[in-house]
Amino acid sequence: MFEIKDVDLAGRIGRLHTRHGVIETPAFFPVIDPVRQELPVAEVRSAGLSQVLTNAYLLYKRTGGAPVKVHDFLGWDGVVMTDSGAYQILEYGDINVTQDEILEYQKAIETDIGVILDVPTGNVPRERAAETVEETLRRARAALNTIDPESDETVWILPIQGGKYLDLVERSAREAVKLPYRMYGIGSPTVFLEEYRYDVIVEIIYTAKRILPGGRPVHLFGAGHPLIIPFAVALGVDTFDSASYIIYARDGRYMTEYGVYRLEQLDYFPCNCPVCSRYTPRELAEMPKRERTRLLALHNLHVIQKTVRRVKQAIREGRLWELLEETARRHPAARAALAKFRKYYRYLEAGTPTAKGEVRGVRAYGGESLWNPRLLRFQERVLARYQPALDGARRAVLEPLAKDSPCTPPGEGEYRAYYDYFIGVVPWELCGVYPSIHVDHGGPTLEAARHLENALIAFIHKLLKLGVEEVVVKGPAAALLARRRPPKTRLEY
Ligand SMILES: [Zn+2]
């Protein structure tokens, strides 16, 4: 039902099989109203989307429970996910339909991906959050009397709850994996998205993902902002949904990959989608509200879709970390999210292939680049497990790695290693091993210099332990070591 085709960090490109076709993930599901579509589904399709999410509870209410086929009803031949009314619970309190009714209904309307009637946590006191976790689990177990997640044609999502209380998220995930669901959801981060608390969202995702089985797809509810998508995918989220594209549009808000504008704040559209190519902000502002909403919604969808495609391309290239760094520079909230990623290094490193088919350079921009698993992994291995091939040498020379001149073997009785700010120390015999000589950067930063200083000291101690009697450090790193010069080390500026 779910195949993983490519990976980078903990992100993946996958194929999710449903009864109405296959979608390639990561995939964004725009939320559409089952009855009143401000943006017609044909236009959703025109923005390159082949999947939507609609609300089974609203459909149930508006059709009086008639088991219409949801695809026919929407006029949509792609994949349909239905939410069960959880959002309405979050907004309006309890709803007057039982879980069994809404599960039977989702089956009857032939939804492709359905959700149990979970209780979203939202931003509530801890005690209430714990209740939502337990109640959601109770319903997940009870639902098994009505649905069979292992063999139903509908793929059933079990949402993980707990909100910002990470121990509750952990409990929710640990209990969830004991149940036979094939797909999981991460519940209700919407409140934190609205407050630009991306750091909280990435913590929630990481906490759940660490426990959920890697081979199963995971949905993130309510996330449809270009700034959060790269981070969510990098942690292993496969699908996500949101109504923000239309909610923002109604309110005259225009999404970009670096934040949201009000239409009247814009003199120019920084976008080439069909809407922005054709109209100016002023023309759009002067349109009747209905028309303006439709066009802004279409633009917003294009921006989200463009972000998803960029993330996929970055996974293909093995440059998802670089994309996160770029995204982090677009908004302080994104930067706070990336700062959290340092804590997740082991998890991200485990999913990062050493190299992909075609060798592409690693790009380093600043302090965050040092945590790029491709770079840090190389240096960790050199410093931890690696035994330099000394061959009896008693003298070692450390030189700067020059991009244009190849590493040369050392002379008789000598050992040689190279260094660079972002990769650290490269023993000459590992020169050429990816990514030793494949790092592109525009010069050192303070953090990179500190990183190199520590790496050099650790490496020199390693050499001394192995019997080297003299180490010579040449080039700019000599200055770095002036304050903390290791024993038997000569610095040649
Ligand atoms: Zn546009």
pLDDT digits (tens, 9 = 90+) for 94-124: 677 889 999 999 999 999 999 999 998 988 9
Q: Is the peptide bond before 435 cis (omega within 30 degrees of 0)?
A: yes
What confidence score (pLDDT) does residue 122 get? 85
Gap from CA of 324 to ligand 1 centroid (Å)? 22
Indicate if the pLDDT at residue 90 is higher than 70. no
pLDDT tens figures, 231-278:
999 999 999 999 999 999 999 999 999 999 999 999 999 999 999 999
| Confidence grade of residue 45 (pLDDT, cut at 50, 70, 90) | very high
Which range of residues forms the domain containing residue 281? 2-347
- The number of helix segments (H) and strand segments (E) in the chain equals 20, 20
Torsion of the alpha carbons at 151, 155, 161 and 166, rounded to the nearest 10: 90
Share of the chain above pLDDT 90, in %: 85
Same domain for 372 and 310: no
Residue 352 lies in a domain: no
Per the document, the length of the chain is 493
Q: Average of pLDDT values for 475-489?
A: 94
Name the residue with tokens 């981060």.
189
Q: How confident is the model at residue 227 (pLDDT cuts 50, 70, 90)?
A: very high
Q: Which tens digits make up the pLDDT trace of 56-67?
A: 999 998 898 899
Same domain? 343 vs 468: no
**Does residue 164 share a domain with residue 18?**
yes
399 and 315 share one domain: no
Asked if residue 252 and residue 312 are part of one domain, the reply reads: yes
> Which residue matches tokens 């790695």?
401
pLDDT greater than 80 at residue 91:
no
What is the C-alpha to C-alpha distance for residues 304 and 307, in angstroms, rounded to an integer? Answer: 5
Residues 163 and 134 in one domain: yes
The greatest distance separating any two alpha carbons of the chain, rounded to the nearest whole angstrom, comes to 88
Q: Ligand 1: distance of its center to the CA of 71 in Å?
A: 28
Task: Report pLDDT for 361.
Answer: 87
28 C-alpha to ligand 1 centroid (Å) = 17
Pick the last residue of a domain from 286, 316, 347.
347
What is the total count of domains within the chain? 2
In this structure, are 385 and 295 located in the same domain? no
The structure tokens listed for 25 are 């993930």
Q: In angstroms, what is the span from residue 296 Cα to ligand 1's centroid?
A: 8
For residue 447, is it within any domain?
Answer: yes
Place of tokens 């190199």: 452
Let me know whether 269 and 389 are in one domain.
Answer: no
pLDDT at residue 328 in the model: 96
Residue at 62 is within a domain: yes
Which pair of structure tokens corresponds to residue 176? 């969830």
Whole-angstrom distance, CA of residue 188 vs CA of residue 120: 6
For the cut 70, the answer to whether the pLDDT of residue 314 exceeds it is yes
The token pair at 197 is 């608390």
What would the pLDDT profile of 387-412 be if each residue is shown by its tens digit? Answer: 999 999 999 999 999 877 778 889 89
Mapping DSSP to helix (H, G, I), strand (E, B) and coil, where does residue 491 land? Answer: strand
Arithmetic mean of pLDDT over the chain: 94
- Say yes or no: 374 and 342 in one domain: no
421-450: buried (b, 16+ CB within 10 Å) or exposed (e) per residue?
bbbbbbbbbbbebbbbbbbebeebbeebee
Same domain, 141 and 216: yes
> Cα separation of 444 and 441, whole Å?
8
Model confidence at 89: pLDDT above 80: no
- Looking at residue 281, what is its pLDDT? 97
- Is position 355 within any domain? no
Distance from residue 273's CA to the centre of ligand 1 (Å): 4
Domain end call among 295, 322, 347: 347
CB proximity list for 137: less than 8 A, separation 6 or greater: 172, 175, 176
Pair 261, 397 in one domain: no
Decide if 83 is catalytic.
yes
CA distance 208 to 198: 15
CB atoms within 10 A of CB 144: 15
- Provide the phi-psi class of 355: left if phi over 0, else alpha when psi is between -120 and 50, else beta: beta
Q: What is the pLDDT of residues 159-208, one digit of tens each?
A: 999 999 999 999 999 999 999 999 999 986 788 888 889 999 999 999 99
Q: What is the pLDDT of residues 320-376, one digit of tens each?
A: 999 999 999 999 999 999 999 999 999 999 988 877 767 788 999 999 999 999 999
Mean pLDDT within 150-155: 96
Query: The domain spanning residue 288 has which CATH number?
Result: 3.20.20.105
Residues within 5 Å of ion ligand 1, judged at the Cβ atom: 271, 273, 275-276, 299
Do 57 and 113 have their domain in common? yes
pLDDT average, residue stretch 272-290? 97
Q: Residues 10-34: pLDDT tens digits?
A: 999 999 999 999 999 999 999 999 9
Q: What is the pLDDT of residue 360?
A: 81
CA–centroid distance, residue 299 to ligand 1 (Å): 4
Catalytic residue among 33, 77, 83, 391: 83
